[in-house]
Amino acid sequence: MAELDRTRTEVDVPGDWTYASAPESRDIVRIADSYGYYVGGEWLEPAETYETIAPRDEEPLAAIGQATAEDVGRAVVAAREAFADGWSALPGSERAKYLFRIARILQERSREFAVLESLNGGKPIKESRDVDIPLAAAHFFYYAGWADKLEYAFPNRRPRPVGVAGQIIPWNFPLLMLAWKIAPALACGNTVVLKPAETTPLTALLFCDVLRQAELPAGVVNIVTGDGRTGAAIVEHEDIDKIAFTGSTEVGKAIQRHVAGTGKRLTLELGGKAANIVFDDAALDQAVEGIVNGIYFNQGHVCCAGSRLFVQESIYEPLVAKLERRLTTLRVGDPLDKNTDVGAINSAAQLEKIQELVASGVEEGAEIYQPPCVLPEKGYWFVPTVFTNVAQSYRIAQEEIFGPVLSVLTFRTPEEAVEKANNTPYGLSAGVWTEKGSRILWMAQRLRAGVVWANTFNRFDPGSPFGGYKESGFGREGGRHGLEPYLRFDE
Ligand code: NDP
C-alpha cells in the first residue's frame, strides 16, 4: 500500500461540520454589586437604583444609580470647577498626554472591556473585541494628536474651549460612543458630564477606573447613570454650555426644542434608514458580504445600518438567492461565543419594537425570509430577516427598525436609485456597489447622506467625519470637523 493511502485510512473524518462553541471566559471581568456616580473623581452613593441585566439570559448584573436632577447638578458643579481650576488653561500638549494615557490603558484592558460590553449589551464578542474597543482607543489616540494643534486646525481663529459639555449616549455602541464624545471634548479643553444609556452603563462605569489610572484631574470627566429623566436633567441644566446627543430622532427633536433660545450649543446624531445600492456590474459575492455586514452587524442596532437594499432589476434574483443562502450560515447565539455572528437584542423593549415592525411588514404584503435557526430559550433574540416584495410606502421601508431586518427594493436606472434612496426623512449613510469609479462619484454627489461608502459598508475611522442630513441630525463627529462643536472662536 502506498504511503499516502495508509495515512488516509488513519484520518478521522468528521461527519458533522457544525462549530463547537468557543466561549470567551468572563473571569477577567469583576462586576460590583452596585455602582454610584463618578463625580469630581469620587463615587457618590445613589439614593435610588435599578438593575442592569445581560440580554443574553436576563441575568442581573448590578444595581445602577438613577441620578436625580440634584445629582446631575453636583456633576455639573464638579465639571465647572475642573474647567476653571486649570483644565481649560492647560497647554494642549499636556492635555494630549492624558488622552494618550487613556488610549493606551484602553488597549491594555481591551479584553476586559470587550467581555463586559458583550455581556451587558448583547453584541458578539468578535465585534466588541475587533471593532468597538480598538476604535474607542483609536479615537483617544486620534484626538490626543489634535490637542496641541488646534491653532493649526483653525488658523487665525483663536480656538477656545466651550466650557462644560453634557453628553448623552445610546446603548448600541456604549464605549465607542463614549469615546466619540469624550475624546474631542477633552482635546479642546472642555470638561464633561456624560450619561450612558440605561441598559448599558457598565463599560462607562469601568471607564472611570481608566480615568483614575490615567490620573486625569478630578471633575474633568463625570459619569452619571439613569434613564431618560437623567438625560433630561442634563439637557435642562443651566450651567451646561454644550449638549451632544446620540439616539432616537424623537428624543433629539425634544432636546432641540428645549435647547432653542438658551444659547447652548447642540449636536445631534440621530436615526437612519440607509440605502445600500447594488448595480448589476458589482462583484456580487463581495456585495453580499457587504450587505450582511451592513444590516446584521451588531444585530442591526446601528444608526447607519444598510436597512434598505436597492438592487438593480437585472441581478435581483441571483443576488437575493445568494443573500438568502448566506443567511443560513450566520450563527445566532451567545454573544460571548467567539463564533457568534449575531448576538442578543439589547432589551425586551427593543425586541418588541422589532417584532411589531416585522409584523407590519408581513401585514402590508411583503414576503418574509428567515433562515432555519435555533434560538436560545432565555434572553432576547431575533432571527436575521429579509423582506422582499417591499413597496416604498411600507413601514419597514420608511421607519428605523434598529434590528436585524433588511428590506429589499429594486431600481432600473441610476437616476431611479438616487430618487428612491433619497426618499426618506433620514440621511445618515448610504452604500454604492459598482465596478465603475465614475458612477460612484456620480452617485455620491446626489445621495443626501452624511457618509457614502463605495464597495464596502459600516467602515469607521476616527479621522473621518460622521453625521447626518435631515432628520438624522446635524454636526459632525470624528476628524477635524469633530473638534469644531467643542470650540468657540468669538474673542
Ligand atoms: P433614546 O433616544 O431614548 O436614547 C438615547 C439616549 O437618550 C439614552 O441615553 C436615553 O436614556 C437618553 N434619553 C431618553 N430620553 C431622554 C430625554 N427626554 N432627554 C434626554 N435624554 C434622554 O433611544 P432608545 O434607547 O429609546 O431607542 C429607541 C429607538 O431609537 C431605537 O429603536 C432606535 O430606532 C433609535 N436609536 C437610535 C440610535 C442612534 O444611534 N441613532 C441609538 C439608540 C436608539 P435611556 O437609555 O435611559 O432611555
User: In this predicted structure, what is the pLDDT of residue 490?
Assistant: 76
Instruction: Give the CA-trace dihedral at 244, 248, 249, 250, to 10 degrees.
Output: -110
Mutate which of 248, 353, 402, 470 to test ligand 1's pocket (most atoms within 8 Å of Cβ)?
248
Choice between 166 and 13, residue whose per-residue pLDDT is larger: 166
pLDDT digit string, tens, across residues 56-108: 999 999 999 999 999 999 999 999 999 999 999 999 999 999 999 999 999 99
Q: Whose CA is nearest to atom 14 of ligand 1?
A: 228
Tell me if 270 CB under 6 Å of ligand 1: yes
Spatial CA neighbour of 122 closest among 443, 410, 387, 380? 380
| Domain match, 428 and 333 both | yes
CA 230 to each of CA 186, 206, 208, 280: distance values in angstroms, whole numbers, following the listed order: 22, 19, 18, 49
Tell me if 64 CB under 6 Å of ligand 1: no
Dihedral-angle region of residue 291 (phi above 0 means left; psi in -120 to 50 means alpha; beta otherwise) = alpha
For the segment 147-174, the average pLDDT, to the nearest whole number, is: 97
pLDDT digit string, tens, across residues 98-122: 999 999 999 999 999 999 999 999 9
- What's the gap in Å between 244 CA and the centre of ligand 1? 13
Atom of ligand 1 nearest to the CA of 400: 34
Tell me if 170 CB under 6 Å of ligand 1: yes
User: In this predicted structure, what is the pLDDT of residue 209?
Assistant: 98
**Alpha-carbon distance 322 to 342, whole Å?**
19
Residue 15 has pLDDT above 90, yes or no: no
Residue with cell 446631575: 72
| Domain match, 240 and 318 both | no
- What's the gap in Å between 168 CA and the centre of ligand 1? 9
Residue 16, domain member (yes or no): no
Residue 20, domain member (yes or no): no
Bridge partners of residue 408, in order along the sequence: 309
User: In this predicted structure, what is the pLDDT of residue 290?
Assistant: 98
User: In this predicted structure, what is the pLDDT of residue 196?
Assistant: 98
Dihedral-angle region of residue 419 (phi above 0 means left; psi in -120 to 50 means alpha; beta otherwise) = alpha
Share of the chain above pLDDT 90, in %: 95
Tell me if 244 CB under 6 Å of ligand 1: no
Tell me if 353 CB under 6 Å of ligand 1: yes
Tell me if 246 CB under 6 Å of ligand 1: yes
CATH (domain of 366): 3.40.309.10
Angle at which helix 133-146 crosses helix 174-187, to 10 degrees, equals 10
Confidence of residue 20 (pLDDT cuts 50, 70, 90): confident
User: In this predicted structure, what is the pLDDT of residue 2?
Assistant: 53
CA 113 to each of CA 104, 267, 269, 337, 345: distance values in angstroms, whole numbers, following the listed order: 13, 27, 24, 15, 19
- What's the gap in Å between 250 CA and the centre of ligand 1? 8
Residue 28, domain member (yes or no): no
| Domain match, 349 and 397 both | yes
Residue 464, domain member (yes or no): no
| Domain match, 296 and 421 both | yes
| Domain match, 197 and 158 both | yes
Spatial CA neighbour of 483 closest among 157, 259, 215, 255? 157
Strands 429-433 and 275-278: parallel
| Domain match, 307 and 442 both | yes
Tell me if 167 CB under 6 Å of ligand 1: no
- What's the gap in Å between 270 CA and the centre of ligand 1? 9
Mutate which of 51, 251, 301 to test ligand 1's pocket (most atoms within 8 Å of Cβ)?
251
Atom of ligand 1 nearest to the CA of 401: 34
**Alpha-carbon distance 224 to 64, whole Å?**
10
Residue 409, domain member (yes or no): yes
HSE at residue 216, side-chain half, CA atoms within 13 A, is: 36
Mutate which of 64, 168, 245, 301 to test ligand 1's pocket (most atoms within 8 Å of Cβ)?
168
Tell me if 240 CB under 6 Å of ligand 1: no
The torsion angles phi and psi of 379, rounded to 5 degrees, stand at 90, -175
Residue 15, domain member (yes or no): no
Residue 14, domain member (yes or no): no
| Domain match, 42 and 125 both | yes
For the segment 10-38, the average pLDDT, to the nearest whole number, is: 87
Catalytic annotation, residues: 269, 303
Spatial CA neighbour of 468 closest among 415, 441, 430? 430
C-alpha triplet 26, 27, 29: angle, nearest 5°: 75
| Domain match, 418 and 475 both | no
Residue 6 has pLDDT above 60, yes or no: no
Atom of ligand 1 nearest to the CA of 350: 32
Residue 51 has pLDDT above 60, yes or no: yes
Confidence of residue 4 (pLDDT cuts 50, 70, 90): low
For the segment 352-373, the average pLDDT, to the nearest whole number, is: 97
| Domain match, 251 and 314 both | no
Tell me if 195 CB under 6 Å of ligand 1: yes
- What's the gap in Å between 7 CA and the centre of ligand 1? 60
Tell me how many domains the chain contains.
Answer: 2
| Domain match, 195 and 344 both | no
Residue 21, domain member (yes or no): no
pLDDT digit string, tens, across residues 414-457: 999 999 999 999 999 999 999 999 999 999 999 999 999 999 99
CATH (domain of 186): 3.40.605.10
| Domain match, 237 and 295 both | no
For 449, the domain range is 275-454
pLDDT digit string, tens, across residues 196-213: 999 999 999 999 999 999
Write out the chain in H/E/C secondary structure. Answer: CCHHHHHHHHCCCCCCCCCCCCECCCCCCCCCCEECEEECCEEECCCCEEEEEECCCCEEEEEEECCCHHHHHHHHHHHHHHHHHHHCCCCHHHHHHHHHHHHHHHHHCHHHHHHHHHHHHCCCHHHHHHHHHHHHHHHHHHHHHHCCCHHHHCCCCCCEECCEEEEECCCCCHHHHHHHHHHHHHHCCCEEEEECCCCCCHHHHHHHHHHHHCCCCCCCEEECCCCHHHHHHHHHCCCCCEEEEECCHHHHHHHHHHHCCCCCEEEEECCCCCEEEECCCCCHHHHHHHHHHHHHHHHHCCCCCCCEEEEEHHHHHHHHHHHHHHHCCCCECCCCECCCCECCCCCHHHHHHHHHHHHHHHHHCCEEECCCCCCCCCCCCCCCEEEECCCCCCHHHHCCCCCCEEEEEEECCHHHHHHHHCCCCCCCEEEEECCCHHHHHHHHHHCCCCEEEECCCCCCCCCCCECCCHHHEECCECCHHHHHHHEECCC
- What's the gap in Å between 18 CA and the centre of ligand 1? 38
pLDDT digit string, tens, across residues 263-305: 999 999 999 999 999 999 999 999 999 999 999 999 999 999 9
- What's the gap in Å between 251 CA and the centre of ligand 1? 7
User: In this predicted structure, what is the pLDDT of residue 8?
Assistant: 57
Looking at every residue in the chain, the average pLDDT score rounds to 96
| Domain match, 156 and 240 both | yes
Spatial CA neighbour of 466 closest among 450, 480, 483, 452? 450
Tell me if 389 CB under 6 Å of ligand 1: no
Residue 7 has pLDDT above 90, yes or no: no
Atom of ligand 1 nearest to the CA of 252: 2
